[in-house]
A and B are shown apart, each in its own frame.
Chain A
Amino acid sequence: MTNIKEMVIISGKGGTGKTSLAGALSSLFQDRIIADCDVDAANLHLILQPEEVLQTKEFTGGKKAKIDPERCTKCGACKEACRYDAISENFVIDPFSCEGCGACYFLCPAKAVDFSPRLAGHYYICSISGNGRFVFAELLPGEDNSGKLVAAVRNEAREEAVKTGVNFILIDGPPGIGCPVISSITGTHLAVVVTEPTPSGIHDLKRIVELTHHFQVKTALVVNKWDIHPGYTREMKQYCAENDLIFLGQIPYETAITKAQKEAKTILDFAPECAASGAIREIYTKLHDILEEA
Chain B
Amino acid sequence: MQYTHDEGMKVMKDMNIAFASGKGGTGKTTVAVNLAFFLAYSRQQVQYLDCDVEEPNGHIFLKPEVHTRTPAMVMVPVIDQDKCTHCGECSEKCQFNALVTLPSNVLLFPELCHGCGLCVSICPEEAISEGKREIGFIEKGKAIQDIDFVHGILNVGEPMAGPVIQEVKHQYRKEHIRVIDAPPGTSCPVVKTIHDADVVVMVTEPTPFGLHDLQIAVSVAQNLGKPIGVVINRQNGEFPPLVTYLLNNSLPVLMVLPEDIEIARCYSRGELIIKTLPLYIDQFMELAVNIGRLLGKKKGGR
Enumerate chain A interface residues (CB-CB to B < 8 A): 12-16, 19, 40-41, 43, 46, 62-63, 81, 83-84, 96-97, 99-103, 106-107, 139, 141-145, 147, 175-179, 182, 196-201, 203-204, 207, 210-211, 214, 225, 228-229, 232, 253, 255, 258-259, 261-262, 264
B219's nearest neighbour on chain A, judged by CB, is A141
Q: Which residues of B contact A198 (CB under 8 A)?
A: 267-268, 270
CB distance from A219 to the nearest CB of B (A): 14
A62-B95, A142-B223, A175-B185 given; 9 more Cβ-contact pairs under 8 Å:
A41-B212, A43-B212, A99-B162, A103-B121, A176-B54, A177-B54, A198-B267, A214-B157, A228-B268
B187 touches A142 (CB 8 A): yes
B185-226 contacts to A, CB under 8 A, are 185-189, 191-192, 195, 205-209, 212-213, 216-217, 219-220, 223-224
Where the two chains meet, the residues of B that have a C-beta atom closer than 8 Å to any C-beta of A are 22-27, 29, 54-55, 57, 60, 75, 93, 95-96, 114-118, 121-122, 156-157, 159, 161-162, 184-189, 191-192, 195, 205-209, 212-213, 216-217, 219-220, 223-224, 234, 236, 239, 259, 261, 264-265, 267-270
Would you call B26 and A200 a contact (CB within 8 A)?
Answer: no
Is A176 in contact with B24, judged by CB distance below 8 angstroms? yes
For B26, the chain A residues whose CB sits under 8 A away are 14-15
- Chain B residues contacting A197 (CB-CB under 8 Å) are 268
* A102 to B, closest residue via Cβ: B95
In terms of DSSP, what is the predominant structure of the interface of chain B?
loop
In the complex the two chains form, what is the Cα distance from A262 to B212 in whole Å?
A: 12
Q: Are A41 and B220 in contact (CB under 8 A)?
A: no
Contact across chains for A46 and B187 when beta carbons are under 8 A apart? no
A sample of 18 inter-chain contacts (CB < 8 A) reads: A81-B117, A96-B223, A96-B224, A99-B116, A100-B95, A103-B117, A107-B122, A141-B216, A143-B187, A145-B185, A176-B24, A176-B55, A177-B157, A203-B55, A207-B55, A258-B207, A258-B236, A262-B239
Residues of B within 8 Å of A14, CB to CB, are: 23-26, 184-185
Q: Which of B60, B236, B239 contacts A203 (CB 8 A)?
A: B60
Q: A41-B185, A141-B219, A261-B209 known; A13 and B55 CB under 8 Å?
A: yes
Asked whether B208 lies within 8 Å of A264 as measured between CB atoms, the reply is yes
Please measure, in the bound complex, the distance between the C-alpha atom of A16 and the C-alpha atom of B188, giving whole angstroms.
23
Is the Cβ of A207 less than 8 Å from the Cβ of B187?
no
Most buried by A among B54, B60, B115, B219: B54
Please name all residues of chain B whose beta carbon is closer than 8 Å to the beta carbon of A46 when the two chains form the complex. Answer: 208-209, 212
> In the complex, are the beta carbons of A40 and B118 less than 8 A apart?
no
Question: Top 3 closest A-B pairs, CB basis?
Answer: A15-B25, A14-B24, A145-B187
Assess the B213–A43 pair: CB atoms within 8 A: yes
Known interface pairs A15-B23, A177-B54. Does A225 touch B118 (Cβ–Cβ under 8 Å)? no
User: Least Cβ distance of B35 to chain A in Å?
Assistant: 18
Give the nearest-CB partner of B166 in chain A. Answer: A84
Contacts of B60 in A (CB 8 A): 199-200, 203
Q: Are A63 and B95 in contact (CB under 8 A)?
A: yes
| The one of A13, A143, A214 that contacts B156, using a Cβ cutoff of 8 Å | A214
| Assembled-state Cα–Cα distance A155/B226 (Å) | 37
| Interface contact A141-B184, CB-CB below 8 Å | no
Q: How far is the CA of A101 from the CA of B195 in the complex (A)?
A: 20
